[in-house]
Amino acid sequence: MNGSVPIPKAYRKPWRALLLAFAGWSPLIAKGRVRLEVYASRCLDDGGCAHRSVAQAVYSTPRGEVATVQVVSRLFDFPRHVVLGVLAHELGHLADESDGEEAELRADAWALWVTGSPVRYWSEDQLQSLGGSGKWPRPRGLHR
């Protein structure tokens, strides 16, 4: 995706703290090659345009030497526990590197392992939430 915008100031430290926490457990993230990119567009470049399609984890090289968490800027309109839940879940995908429905549960397991908090699914949006209310475990059939 082209045209990234800065990470909102209030989320720079929390993002770095999450990265550091994951770096303690994930070799990929420990290499320091994971970036957060924020896009002003409404949709993700894979066509994800649903209300809850706000983030994706992307391996920029085939062997995952560089990886990116890409988010659309409207993510930051959600409550803080949702922003942190989404970021932790996406970092879980990068740490885990698996695919399919099981990958979603594994991403949440990583987030729990690293942060000590379960990822819940918040409100009717069913977006990830860290330290907030919501369903646990992940409802079946959700995309992302």
Residues that bind Zn ion (CB under 5 A): 104, 144
For the bound state, the minimum distance from the C-beta of residue 128 to Zn ion, rounded and expressed in Å, comes to 8
Query: Residue with the closest Cβ to Zn ion?
Result: 144
Residue number, 13 or 15, with CB nearest to Zn ion: 15
- Closest by CA to 64, choosing from 96, 21, 101, is 96
Residue number, 23 or 104, with CB nearest to Zn ion: 104
Which residues, 6 or more positions from 110, have their beta carbon under 8 angstroms from its beta carbon? 22, 25, 26, 91, 92, 95, 96
For the bound state, the minimum distance from the C-beta of residue 107 to Zn ion, rounded and expressed in Å, comes to 5
Residue number, 39 or 90, with CB nearest to Zn ion: 90
Residue number, 120 or 144, with CB nearest to Zn ion: 144
For the bound state, the minimum distance from the C-beta of residue 84 to Zn ion, rounded and expressed in Å, comes to 15
The CA distance from 91 to 68, in Å, is: 9
Residue number, 104 or 130, with CB nearest to Zn ion: 104
The CA distance from 67 to 20, in Å, is: 15
The CA distance from 123 to 79, in Å, is: 11
For 49-65, b/e burial (b = at least 16 CB within 10 A) is eeebbbbbbbeeeeebe
